[in-house]
Structure 1
Amino acid sequence: MHTAISDPVRDLRRIGAETAQALEAIAATQNDALAATIEAIGAARRVFVLGAGRSGLALRMTAMRLMHLGLHVHVVGDTTTPAIEAGDLLLTASGSGTTGAVVRAATTARSVGARIATLTTATSSPLAELSDTVIVVPAADKLDRSGAASVQYAGSLFEQAVALIGDALFHTLWQRSGQSADDLWPRHANLE
């Protein structure tokens, strides 16, 4: 049982600092991977996103923003998701790079000639090996409970980074598109 007295303000600051440190490490070392991922998204006929658990939820946020940009985006597993084909991109997130469903989907995507972009903590993983571009997040994966890579529980830092990297990818694509916020607004859901 965890007996330390919780201090939410302290924890908020620790989490914010840890997330900022991870993102700064990515910005300092992975410009090529970020640029290649942006190019792959921009060149894709359609973008499919896939991650399991909280990683998948983070990528769903990216899918929504890419849709707001006017891209054709599908969340793998939704009943209306079509077959992936050559010319498409599978954007994945898996801290371990070994999540079975994600690796199987990447294998299928590769077999039909689709490109694969991955966010992971594991450069030497089956998912990374299948991918055209890999953004490596310096964070613990969900099985690392040592506390060495993150003070947060399980894959929290990875999942936070996935959401923020997705926002950065979107933001760059949005700025390049020349569209205004008013241009994007009509694509927001209106059946709420």
Structure 2
Amino acid sequence: MTPSATAQPTVAQALEIIAAENAVAVRGLDAANGGALDDAARVIRDANRVFLLGAGRSGIALQFTAMRLMHLGLAVHVVGEVTAPAIGEGDVLLVASGSGSTAGIVRAAQTATDVKASVVAITADAASAVSKLATVTLLVEAARKLDRDSTVTAQYAGSLFEQTVVTIGDALFHSLWLDSGQTADELWPRHSNLE
């Protein structure tokens, strides 16, 4: 969708568009995924270590989740960081790819399955290559970055998908946090003190 020069929304109107689209996307998550959201939380909770991988903005969105899972006390690694070790059996790889076909993410998911690690995939394409490799697939009803017709979203490229990745990550964290019985004060010492 190309913004119209004659109907340019104000920033406040753009915020309303984004908020409304996010509300629809979030409401659709449970219907699109059934019990998969809780399945994903269980797989993450029970894993030895959690690895997270996404490309571009999806990868940045997953870094939000990586930080919160670390605050929870889980062993967390962002793939591509120099300190990330090899994934192995009993670990989980959490990936985000709107298309589900990003080559590096599909290769990583294949590697994870080859070593008997679990894969949790957040994607907008249930029939994608990464979905076929996943232990649990979380389907997001949002445009992928190459979808440019305004049928799913008025926002540019994969923006709605990436915003929903952040929301799913926070929801997974919140559910796991409540399940853990830890207080906010118990999580606080894990926050960075090197800022």
Give me the TM-score of the superposition, normalised by structure 2. Answer: 0.96
Q: Distance in 1 between matches of 2:115 and 2:32?
A: 31
Aligned position for 1:83: 86
1:189 aligned partner = 192
Aligned partners of 1:120 and 1:101: how far apart in 2?
15
Q: What do residues 56-112 of structure 1 show as CA deviations (whole Å, max 9, x unaligned)? A: 001000000000000000000000000000000000000000001100100111111
Pairs within 5 Å for 1:29-48: 29-48=32-51
SS in 2 for 1:83: coil
Among 155, 180, 183, which residue is 1:180 paired with?
183
**How far 1:120 sits from its partner (Å)?**
0.2
Q: Of the candidates 17, 21, 24, which is equivalent to residue 21 of structure 1?
A: 24
Separation (CA, whole Å) in 2 of partners of 1:31 and 1:125 = 19
1:39 match: secondary structure:
helix
Show structure 1 runs of 5+ residues with no match.
none
1:121 and 2:124 correspond: yes
**Structure 2 residue identity aligned to 1:78:** E
Q: Counterpart of 1:144 in 2: which secondary structure?
A: coil
Confirm or deny that 1:106 pairs with 2:93: no
**Mean Cα deviation higher: 24-33 or 9-18:** 24-33
Query: Structure 1, residues 126-156: CA drift from partner, whole Å, max 9, x if none?
Result: 0000000000000000000001111100000
Residues in 2 aligned to 1:61 and 1:24: alpha-carbon distance in whole angstroms: 21
Provide the secondary structure at the position in 2 that maps to 1:91.
strand
Is the 2:32–2:139 Cα contact (8 Å) retained in structure 1?
A: no
Counterpart Cα distance in 2 of 1:5 and 1:92: 35
1:10 equivalent in structure 2: 13
How far apart in 2 are the matches of 1:31 and 1:98?
23
Do the aligned partners of 2:32 and 2:140 also contact (CA within 8 Å) in 1?
no
Q: Specify the SS of the correspondent of 1:160.
A: helix
Equivalent residues of 2:91, 2:118 under 8 A apart: yes
Tell me, which stretches of 5 or more residues in structure 2 are unaligned? none
The one-letter amino acid paired with 1:52 is: A
Q: How many angstroms does 1:5 deviate by?
A: 2.3
* Percent identity between the two aligned chains: 54
Task: Measure the CA separation in 1 of the matches of 2:92 and 2:71.
Answer: 17
Shift of 1:30: 2.0
Whole-angstrom distance in 1 between the partners of 2:97 and 2:31: 22
CA drift of 1:29 comes to 3.6
Paired residue total: 192
